[in-house]
Structure 1
Amino acid sequence: MGKAKVSTIGFTKTTAEGFFERLLKAGVKKIVDVRLHNTSQLSGFAKADDLAYFLKSIGEIKYVHEPLLAPTDPMLKAYKKERGDWSAYEKRFLALMAERHVEKCFKPEMFDGACFLCSEDAPHHCHRRLVCEYLNEKWDGVLDVRHL
């Protein structure tokens, strides 16, 4: 297999129209929800059951929740609620991915045409970017990643 085309997207600071149009324009075939809690109220269209319905109805896009690629509750609390340091969070999260051996739980082709979803609007301080970077390191750069 050649490169697996993978996207990432966040749903905050956007409208439903903007969110779904970006997915359609990018040709996304599957959303991989990497949030720990996928029933977020941050955007009404992003709750798991509603999101799965909208994705299927609007673009025949599959929906999968993958908490194995999410941080733990204590990690989230330390970073979000207690305004933790990003570099400390990043180190803890990457160590968690290594501890879970996520690179052995998935294959690159499983993510071809997929888009990793979480709440952050930009990938800079978001674990979806870290997931892609971690997997790319373990899989010798086979993921062609774009942030929508």
Structure 2
Amino acid sequence: MVIYTIGFTRKSAEEFFGLLKKNDVKHLIDIRLNNSSQLAGFTKGSDLKYFLRELLGIGYIHDTKFSPTKEIIDSYKKKSISWSEYEEKFIQLLDERDIRKHVIENLYDVLDGCCLLCSEETAEKCHRRLVAEYIQRAFPDKEIRIVHI
């Protein structure tokens, strides 16, 4: 089983959609808290859903259960908390939301070949990496490989 992650910052539409196509992504799971910002460009929620379906036949899901709260985001952006504190707070939030159960009940059938979307250019300090790793740990019986594209 493979879970991909991607960020759209500093990617052209051609590069973004090309990476999804090249990796044979089946469903894109948008895990941004706000997917309708003007800064999102071609990844604005309703437009992205259309582009994915029409250009590549990829399904689109916006799921804020995988999003950090505004408070966690703001605390990190304002440097009130470090990245390691952000990680701790976010993992605790995923635990509280019972993400394993959420995946089983709502996303298990689309997990293989899905791609988690956020805005950060790289996965290193992005919650999409934390979500992918959380899912990987939540299903130790599955061989889940994470690929950041």
- Alignment correspondent of 1:90: 87
Matches within 5 A, 1:30-49: 30-49=27-46
Tell me, in whole angstroms, the C-alpha distance in 1 between the residues paired with 2:116 and 2:86: 19
Matches within 5 A, 1:96-135: 96-107=93-104, 108-135=108-135
CA offset digits 1:24-83 (Å, max 9, x no partner):
000001100001111122231010001001111110111000000100011111112x03
- Alignment correspondent of 1:137: 137
CA offset digits 1:106-136 (Å, max 9, x no partner):
1344311110000001000000100111111
- Alignment correspondent of 2:148: 147
Tell me, in whole angstroms, the C-alpha distance in 2 between the residues paired with 1:18 and 1:24: 10
% identical aligned pairs: 42
Structure 2 length normalisation: TM-score? 0.92
Greater Cα offset, 129-138 or 103-112: 103-112
Tell me, in whole angstroms, the C-alpha distance in 2 between the residues paired with 1:138 and 1:25: 28
Query: What SS does the corresponding residue of 2:35 show, helix, strand or coil?
Result: coil
Query: What SS does the corresponding residue of 2:121 show, helix, strand or coil?
Result: coil
Gaps of 5+ in 2: none
- Would the aligned equivalents of 2:8 and 2:120 in 1 still touch at CA under 8 Å? yes
Count residues with an aligned counterpart.
144
Answering whether residue 31 of structure 2 is matched by residue 25 of structure 1, we say no
Greater Cα offset, 135-144 or 112-121: 135-144
Gaps of 5+ in 1: none
Where in structure 1 do 4 or more consecutive aligned residues deviate above 3 Å?
Answer: none
- Alignment correspondent of 1:77: 74
**C-alpha displacement of 1:137:** 1.0
- Would the aligned equivalents of 2:27 and 2:110 in 1 still touch at CA under 8 Å? no
Tell me, in whole angstroms, the C-alpha distance in 1 between the residues paired with 2:39 and 2:141: 33
Tell me, in whole angstroms, the C-alpha distance in 2 between the residues paired with 1:105 and 1:147: 23
- Would the aligned equivalents of 1:40 and 1:46 in 2 still touch at CA under 8 Å? no
